[in-house]
Amino acid sequence: MHTPNILVINQLSDRHISAITNSVPGCSIISCDLADAEKYIDTAEIIVAWGWMDLQELYLKAPKLRWVHALSAGVEKMLFPEMISSSTLLTNSRGIHGIPMSEHVISMILAFTRGLNVFIKQQQQRVWKRTALEEIHEKTIGIIGLGSIGREIAKRAKGLGMRVVASKREMTTELFVDTLYTSNQIEEVLAVSDFVVVTLPETKQTQGLFTLNLFKLMKPSAYFINVARGSIVKEDDLSIALSQGIIKGAALDVFENEPLPESSPLWDVPNVIITPHIAAISPHYLDRAMKLFCENLACYCGGQEMVNIIDKTKGY
């Protein structure tokens, strides 16, 4: 079996290093921070890093590199021109985000329906005041960009008695979706949804997709939840939609600029829950990511078909 040199730009535990060497005995692994990676780049055939790391400079100094693997689902920073036009393989960690991200989305929906966003603020001010509350039972969730994350959200939403509609590029048979639309029919999803959840990848087609015109198609009572990428939403338009009551509220985990600048109007809009890009965080994340990488590594070294290969022209 082929035994490559692997440069992992993340600190790995002994357990993770053993998992790699168990899947391909004889391979060599360096685990370091981005600042130190240049020292080891000469011999690296595989780089494992996060999709938000700027690897362009390192990439240009890597004579033996054949494969870059992202520990994240997003690979936006890895799609620089030299990478796109090269034959370097690019893979990501899609498929491991479903559990934490669906739990995050359901918790945002429950936070709005049970008034937690209001009551937590009131508690800080020692205020005892009731407000109108809702149920999620028989409410409609609309998942824009149904994939492995959306499917986990759909499963949990169905379990809570919700109606599930979704949009997706290709039509498939979906166990937990009541009505599936194509990606050209997003309007239909927006019109019927009480909660709109974005789980699209960032691509040229999805950048800036959510403008005021789309928010205007949503119900005024509806909530918008973005756990995908901030660039998919025109943030100024979202602020207008929220402050003018075009939609009721939003739970936002991702932003055009991260960290969200202190000057952003979104901090002050009522009915907005802001989280710092944590929807996928889980104590099991790295274990799942390394398992996926090790399985792919065994395929790479054994000449078998690999999974999660990014189509660099499409961007996902």
The letter for the amino acid at 289 is A
- Which residues 6+ apart lie within 8 Å of 136 measured at CB? 109, 110, 113, 157, 160, 161, 162
Binding site for ligand OXD (CB under 6 A): 51, 72-74, 97, 280
Cα 263 from Cα 210, distance rounded (Å): 21
| Active site (catalytic) residues | 229, 258, 277
**Which of residues 51 and 145 has its CB atom nearest to ligand OXD in the complex?**
51
Nearest to 200 by CA among 218, 185, 183: 183
Least distance to ligand OXD from the beta carbon of 105, Å?
13
Nearest distance from C-beta of residue 187 to ligand OXD, angstroms? 26
Number of Cβ within a 10 Å radius of residue 5: 16
Phi, psi of 91 (to 5 degrees): -125, 160
Residue 303 zone, left/alpha/beta (φ > 0; ψ -120 to 50; rest):
left
Minimum CB distance to ligand OXD, residue 28 (Å) = 27
Percentages of the chain per state (helix, strand, coil), in multiples of 5: 40, 15, 45
Q: Tell me which amino acid residue 155 is.
A: K
Q: Least Å distance between CB 277 and ligand OXD?
A: 6
Which amino acid would we find at residue 50? Answer: W
Distance CA 172, CA 125 (A): 49
| Minimum distance from residue 139 beta carbon to ligand OXD (Å) | 26
**Nearest Cα to 202, choosing from 232, 179, 174?**
232
